[in-house]
């Protein structure tokens, strides 16, 4: 398996624009997680899904952030409108079962100017 695949790897956009980050989890993994890494806060969980259903979105910072998982092989994290403070590296991770190891993608580095 190719592992967790995220796209794009880098995204530069202007304040106010919509940004969509994409993730393809490892096939057969039932859990999908979105994390954000910043210098100030480190790696923090934004939201996670189990069998395509959002379970806990308490980490989503604002209503500007939304995440979907329309099927078992695809998830998106959308920021609308984007702001400079959203600049960070966003990671997607998946795991086969509850409590198992999480496998991370390479991340998307987002810069909002």
Applying CB under 8 A, does 88 fall inside the site for other proteins?
no
Q: Which residues contact 1 (CB under 8 A, 6 or more apart)?
A: 26, 27
Q: Choose between 16 and 61: whose C-beta lies nearer to other proteins.
A: 61
Applying CB under 8 A, does 93 fall inside the site for other proteins?
yes
Q: Which of 12, 15, 43, 113 binds other proteins (CB under 8 A)?
A: 43
Residue 84 main-chain phi, psi, to 5 deg: -55, -35
Applying CB under 8 A, does 12 fall inside the site for other proteins?
no
What is the C-alpha separation between 113 and 103, in angstroms, rounded? 30
Q: How many Cβ atoms are within 10 Å of 18's Cβ, its own excluded?
A: 11
Tell me the window of 18-26, 66-74, 76-84, 99-107 that interacts with other proteins (CB under 8 A): 99-107
């Amino acid at each position: 398996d190719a592992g967790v695949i995220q796209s794009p790897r880098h995204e530069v956009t202007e304040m106010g624009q919509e940004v969509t980050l994409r993730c393809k989890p490892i096939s057969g993994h039932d859990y999908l997680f979105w994390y954000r890494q910043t210098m100030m806060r480190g790696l923090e969980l934004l939201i996670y899904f189990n069998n395509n259903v959002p379970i806990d979105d308490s980490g989503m910072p604002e209503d500007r952030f939304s995440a979907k998982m329309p099927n078992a092989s695809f998830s998106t994290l959308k920021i609308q409108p984007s702001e400079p403070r959203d600049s960070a590296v966003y990671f997607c991770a998946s795991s086969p079962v509850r409590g198992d190891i999480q496998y991370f993608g390479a991340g998307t580095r987002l810069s909002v100017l």
